[in-house]
Structures are given as C-alpha cells and as structure tokens.
Chain A
C-alpha cells in the first residue's frame, strides 16, 4: 500500500528523469503513479481516469514551482482536485417547515442503516429535537429487536408493527409522530440490492407515501469499485438527498466517497465511526481527501510555499 503519495511521486520523478523537473515524460509516469494510488484507495476506474487527466492538465499548465518539489506540487494538485470532487462545503440536513421532518434511511445490506438511524436520533436529540424511530425493516431476522434495543439505550420511542408490511409501518409512524408531537421521524428500512426490482420499488413507494423530507443513502466506506453502480441505481429510484459513510473507524482509504460524488453529485452529510451511539459526525471533505491520499503534511507544506 502507499503510505505517502508524495514520497512515491518523488521517486517516480527521479526514476524517470534523474532530475526533479516537470516534463512530458515524468508527468506521464507520475500520472500513472497517481492513478494507481487512487485505484488502491478504491476510487472507481473511470473516475480515477478522469481525475488523473484533470491533474495532468493542471500540472502542465502550472509549470514548475521553485519553492516545492514536483512531487509535492503534484500531490497538492491531486489533493485540491479531490477536495473539490468531494464537495467544498459542509452540508446539513433539511428540516421540514411543518413537523414532523421525515428522514428515510436506505442502502445495501449490512451497510449500517439501523445503527446509523439510532445514532442520528441521538444526535438530533442532543440538539434539542424530539425524534422518533420507525422500524420498517420487516425482513431481516431480529431487525426490529435490534432497533428497539438501540433506541431504548438512547431513550427514543420506536414505532413497529407485527405485520410484515413496510409501507404500513412507515405510514402509521408518520401519524404516530404527529400525534405524539415528535418533530423528527427517522425511518429505518431493510437492506436491499440495487438490482432487486421488487425491493427497490418498495423503498421508492415508502419515500412517496411518507413524503420524506430528507432521504439518506448509507454506504459502507470499505466499498470498492461497485459503489458507482449502487449509488447510481439508488439515486435513480429514490433520488436521495445525501450520503452517509459508515465504518470509517477502519483503515480503509474510502475512495468510494469520490466515486459516489462523481456519479450522483449528492453531498456526503455524515460519517459514522463506530458501533457506539455517539460515533457520528459531519463530513469534512478536506479530511476525507487526505485520508484517500494517505497523507498529512504535504498539503500544509505546499500551502505555505
């Protein structure tokens, strides 16, 4: 694995030219090195390709900077491209004018939806909101149990029904929330494959029926190349408003974040970094870009130059 892109790029320059200056030849070699680093970080193949060609153009356009090495200069260009691809601004969730704000949580199996639903409830509660949860996963064994256990730890009520009808749970939960004067309703749904027409149809019907204020697509940060396919399909079916990246407490680079932003142009709104209820935070594009590149100091170094 690459620990520090800049070190690698430095050696790429040396091996090609014997001298550290920007030229067509060493640029080509460097671009290949960058592409490989992005692929190792799970950035999608196509996305890595378009990113590197943008980087190449910028680098050739800039010429050499006297104060930094070409390796550092390149790293900075890549970093800036990533930050801009990830979305410069930090984006918040939208609340409805008329309560309850309905937040629908969807994604593939095992991505972390149920855990995140509870965490979000706690996060909102800590901000003075009055949330409620709905257990609309009627398929996974013990899904309701799981949500109830988590919810009782954070002291948030859950709406569920015995019957296996996700649409009904969701619909009823909205009226429950109104009745109980809850200002936010978070609906947890079953994990589903983007290619499962029946299940995708279910979630899009839930979205319409509850007239969701905010739809969040939950993605495992360890996802590889397929992130583009799933994000594209989910977006097509439920037109989500934001992305949640989970399991960032691992050591994955998280290149999927770039891939998703690239194919759907929806902001990443939260990251999840553990199994405990307080491991949720907003998304910071600059931190993510550094993580993907596996670097720290180079950016500040070049910034000062």
Chain B
C-alpha cells in the first residue's frame, strides 16, 4: 500500500549523494503536494527550493534530507506576530481585544467563533459575542446556541438588522462592561460580490469608532476542502478588511488544506487555528511542523 511516509523514505533514498533531483522523485513530490491542494505555483516553488538545496549541500544524509523537505515547506508558512497571540491565555494589549470573523459561505465561521469563545473562557477571559450575521436564516439562533454552550454573553438584534449596527453595539457594550475578548460573526459572502464585500468594510470601520484600532484581528476562515479558489478568497477579503490571520476548518476529513501554504507565503498572513470537528473543543492552535508532517504522513490513496 502506498503511503505518504513511504514516499518520504523513497525521496530520501533517491536524493542521497546526488546533486540533482531525479524527475521521477520530483513527480512524486509534485503528486503529494498537488493532491494536498498546495497548487501548481507553490509546488513549483517548493521544488525549486529543494533543487537549490540539493545542488548546494550535496551528499546529505537521508534524515537530513527529510528535514530539508519539511523545512522548506514550513518556511513558506509565516509565523505568528507577537502582537496578536494565538494562545488563549496570552496577555492581550487591547481591552477589549476585538476579533472580526469573515469568510465565504459555509466554511465554519460561526462554529469557529463558538469554539474560540469556549477556549478564551476556559483560559479565564471574559468573552462577548456579536451576532453580525443578520442575513442567513437561523444564523442568529445558531450563534445563540453556541453562546449558551460556551457560557458567554451574546449581543444581537435579530435577523434583518443592520450588521454594522450590531457590530457597533457589541463593541460598545464590551467596552462598557470591561470584556476581554469580543468575537464578531459576519454573514458568509462570496468574495466576488462587490456590494457584500463593501458592507464588510463598513462593519469593520464602525468598530474602530468605538475602540481604537478595533478590530485588532480579522480572522479569515477557510475550509480545508477548498481548492485553488481559496487564494482568490484570501486576496479579495484582504483587500477589503485586511485579513490578519487564518483559521483552517474541517481538517478532520481527508482534505489537507494545502492551499494555506501559498496563501500564508504570498500574503504574509499566519495560520492561527485549525478546526478538527463539530464539537466545542475541536479547535487547535495551528502548529506549523504538525501541519507539514500531516501532508506527508497520511495515506495518499484510500483504495
């Protein structure tokens, strides 16, 4: 049976002692990366880097080589900025620390907010949620259930309300009540919908009128099963609301979410969280090494 760890052994064996990578090995590497949704462009970038390293440090040992491969890919994933910690118990320099959550339809925004509020609360933070998706049927009710599960306060004005007004209200209320963390949900929207995207810009701007610099984090949620279109999503959302972090959901399936490598690299934005299920505790702080290992360690075929 063909497994990805088998592939790593193979690539190491073929590469050791050579100053050029054979085409067959490159084809295999390409297969692993492409089938993980890394995309052609980033895959070529990884291959270029590997070839350069092999040409430079020839006669490397097998274990060194595996590390090189991992390193080169890990390197593309940019690191978190100290000003915006992903850890839930970290000290936050803003009070309240306002996080706006955005993304296309159905990626997992509301669920991720539910999980995040639980994590922050567990870490001793006082959390407040804003039901900024006033559009989708059942969206407010869905977030309400999450707020109850997590035991945090929800600010809402019901379906059909002006989302910017909800965001304004939430941040104002958090400020007056001395909340530590505010998470504002927004309706899913496709990035090519101009009017909806500019509405998002407006939602963002009003928060800054209540608390200086808010939102301090704009989290773009991406679904791990999404292919190359995620790059367009990241670009369009960044243009309008300046995305500062990524959350990659649904990694509990077989999709690898490799597109975040190119996004992180090209747009200089860190991946902060991963979603691994539908339960409240199914969220983890992103870890680069673990993510890269997972690209290679899981089986590439299910036959």
* Cross-chain contact B228 with A224 (CB below 8 angstroms): yes
* Cross-chain contact B192 with A145 (CB below 8 angstroms): no
**B212 close to A (CB within 8 Å):** no
Question: Secondary structure at chain A's binding surface: helix, strand, loop or mixed?
Answer: loop
Q: Which of A5-13, A58-66, A86-94, A247-255 interfaces with chain B? A: A247-255
In the assembled complex, which residues on chain B have CB atoms less than 8 Å from the CB atom of A147? 137-138
Q: Which of A38-46, A71-79, A162-170, A179-187 interfaces with chain B? A: A38-46
B residues 224-252 in Cβ contact with A at 8 Å: 225-230, 232, 250, 252
Q: Nearest chain B CB to A220's CB is how many angstroms away?
A: 7
Q: Which of A23-31, A104-112, A203-211, A294-302 interfaces with chain B? A: A104-112
**A36 close to B (CB within 8 Å):** yes
* Cross-chain contact B34 with A42 (CB below 8 angstroms): no
Known pairs A142-B141, A251-B192; A42 contacts B227 (CB<8 A): yes
* Cross-chain contact B253 with A226 (CB below 8 angstroms): yes
**Per-residue contact bits, chain B 244-288, to A (CB 8 Å; 1 contact, 0 not):** 000000101111100100000000000000000010000000000
* Cross-chain contact A42 with B229 (CB below 8 angstroms): yes
* Cross-chain contact A139 with B278 (CB below 8 angstroms): yes
* Cross-chain contact A40 with B37 (CB below 8 angstroms): no
Partner of A252, one of B36, B229, B253, B278: B229
* Cross-chain contact A193 with B252 (CB below 8 angstroms): yes
**A229 close to B (CB within 8 Å):** yes
* Cross-chain contact B254 with A226 (CB below 8 angstroms): yes
How many interface residues does chain B have, given as a range?
A: 35 or more
Q: How many residues of A contact B (CB 8 A)?
A: 46
B residues 130-185 in Cβ contact with A at 8 Å: 135-139, 141-142, 144-146, 149, 159
- Which of A42, A229, A275: most chain B Cβ within 10 A? A275
Known pairs A141-B145, A143-B138; A250 contacts B227 (CB<8 A): no
- Which of A40, A41, A143, A222: most chain B Cβ within 10 A? A222
In the assembled complex, which residues on chain B have CB atoms less than 8 Å from the CB atom of A42? 37, 227-229
* Cross-chain contact A220 with B106 (CB below 8 angstroms): yes
In the assembled complex, which residues on chain A have CB atoms less than 8 Å from the CB atom of B254? 194-195, 226, 229-230
* Cross-chain contact A224 with B138 (CB below 8 angstroms): no
* Cross-chain contact B191 with A149 (CB below 8 angstroms): no
* Cross-chain contact B138 with A149 (CB below 8 angstroms): yes
In the assembled complex, which residues on chain B have CB atoms less than 8 Å from the CB atom of A140? 142, 278
A146 to B138, CA, bound (A): 4
* Cross-chain contact B253 with A146 (CB below 8 angstroms): no
Q: Nearest chain A CB to B81's CB is how many angstroms away?
A: 28
Smallest CB gap from B135: residue in A: A275
Partner of B229, one of A110, A141, A230, A251: A251
**B223 close to A (CB within 8 Å):** yes
* Cross-chain contact A256 with B137 (CB below 8 angstroms): no
**B96 close to A (CB within 8 Å):** no
In the assembled complex, which residues on chain B have CB atoms less than 8 Å from the CB atom of A195? 252-254
A230 to B253, CA, bound (A): 9
* Cross-chain contact A41 with B137 (CB below 8 angstroms): no
In the assembled complex, which residues on chain B have CB atoms less than 8 Å from the CB atom of A139? 278
Partner of A109, one of B145, B149, B230, B278: B278
* Cross-chain contact B232 with A40 (CB below 8 angstroms): no
Smallest CB gap from B148: residue in A: A141
**B23 close to A (CB within 8 Å):** no
A44 to B141, CA, bound (A): 38
**A69 close to B (CB within 8 Å):** no
**A232 close to B (CB within 8 Å):** yes
In the assembled complex, which residues on chain B have CB atoms less than 8 Å from the CB atom of A111? 106
* Cross-chain contact B190 with A249 (CB below 8 angstroms): yes
A145 to B140, CA, bound (A): 10
* Cross-chain contact A110 with B35 (CB below 8 angstroms): no
Known pairs A108-B253, A111-B106; A222 contacts B227 (CB<8 A): yes
**B108 close to A (CB within 8 Å):** yes
A255 to B159, CA, bound (A): 35
A4 to B232, CA, bound (A): 17
17 contacts between A and B (CB under 8 A): A39-B34, A45-B31, A110-B107, A110-B223, A111-B106, A147-B137, A193-B250, A222-B226, A224-B37, A226-B37, A249-B190, A249-B192, A250-B192, A251-B232, A252-B229, A253-B228, A256-B227
7 A-B pairs closest in CB distance: A224-B227, A110-B106, A146-B138, A42-B227, A149-B137, A141-B145, A226-B255
List 20 additional contacts besides A112-B106, A249-B190; criterion CB under 8 Å: A45-B34, A108-B225, A109-B106, A110-B106, A110-B107, A140-B142, A141-B114, A147-B137, A149-B137, A195-B253, A220-B106, A222-B227, A224-B228, A225-B35, A226-B255, A247-B104, A249-B193, A250-B104, A252-B228, A253-B229
